[in-house]
Amino acid sequence: MKRIAVLTSGGDSPGMNAAIRSTVRAATFNDVECIGVMRGYEGLIDGEYVPMDRSSVGGIIHKGGTILKTARSERFKTEEGRAAALAKMKEAGIEGLVVIGGDGSFHGAKLLDAAGMPTIGVPGTIDTDIAGTDTTIGFDTAVNTALDAVMKLRDTASSHDRLFIVEVMGRNAGFLALEVAVATGAEYVIVPELPVSIGKLCEMLREAHARKKNHIIIILAEGVMTANEMKDRLQDTGGYEARVTVLGYIQRGGGPTSYDTILASRMGAYATESLLIGKRGVMVGSVSGRMVLSDLERSWTERKSLNPELLDLMGKLN
């Protein structure tokens, strides 16, 4: 291979820039040219290609977001859209592609690979809901961003003996909520994987009050219900008055932690070098601290489980 390309797709996550940098630099280290594709699959179809060299990825390692921008592409979901992308890539002499994104992006990547373009995925999402890897680029940063916010709320919660519901992201998975809950010492975590009825939650709150625990933080995964909905239901069912904070998009922003920066640097380089030795249709993962490859398909066909030890800890430490 003499020329490969890299793009970021789907939701952005902190550390994507570090992954772009490492993909480009590993390519140039191996005397391979790397092209940057703007706006994910949209740019792939439209031929929005920018030549990149070592210096074009200088000064981005600690920046949040993605310099290549990201987008969602309805056109890429169609066979015609993918055929147009393939034709544009062939025209530009591109022989392989690194896709940095989540499971949706990997679905597209697999189809492109099957259509004839060697493609490798690098998992970048704060939700970390991707099988085949212990963690994904951006997750650690999002946990730390939420930690910072929740610890500030905790000051008010304890000063006023208040009940707070903090809604965190994670789509339909509870990984982010669970780690945030353990890291912040929250009293309860409510995740889609382990539903708790409002009646049961009211019972738990009554027990907490009986233990003289008057300031309470509930970390709620967005996949369960909205924090406002939970607030109303706690009021209606148990007469509890809760304050609501929705962390929202701040969780996706900011520069990556050292953990995510190193993970992104390892994954980008590993993806490039795997592509160069003929691997394709796979994604890079970090399993027990080692770089591994697994079939892209696992990312959307397999559901990763929450760490039972952390769930158990929540029950013991609140």
- Binding residues for ligand ADP, per CB under 6 A? 9-11, 41, 72-73, 76-77, 101-105, 107-108, 111, 125
Distance CA 184, CA 29 (A): 42
Specify the residue, 77 or 209, whose C-beta has the smaller distance to ligand ADP.
Answer: 77
Q: Is 148 a catalytic residue?
A: no
Q: Which residue is nearest to ligand ADP (CB)?
A: 104
Structure tokens at 74: 């309805």
If the CB atoms of residues 137 and 182 are measured against ligand ADP, the closer one turns out to be 137
Structure-block tokens of residue 278:
């003929």
Reported as half-sphere exposure (CB side, CA atoms, 13 A), residue 90 has a value of: 10
Q: Of the listed 12, 103, 113, 127, which one is catalytic?
A: 127
Q: Which of 164, 130, 141, 171 is nearest to 250 (CA)?
A: 141
Q: How far is the CB of 57 from ligand ADP (least distance, A)?
A: 22
List C-alpha distances in Å: 183 to 162, 178, 236, 313: 20, 9, 30, 11
Nearest approach, Cβ of residue 189 and ligand ADP (Å) = 23
Q: Least CB distance from residue 105 to ligand ADP, whole Å? A: 3
Q: Which is nearer to ligand ADP, 223 or 311 (CB)?
A: 223
Nearest distance, CB of residue 106 and ligand ADP, angstroms: 7
Q: Which is nearer to ligand ADP, 103 or 193 (CB)?
A: 103
CA 47 to chain centre: 27
Phi then psi dihedrals of residue 47, to 5 deg? 70, 35
Q: Are 117 and 239 in contact (CB under 8 A)?
A: no
- Catalytically active residues, by annotation: 127
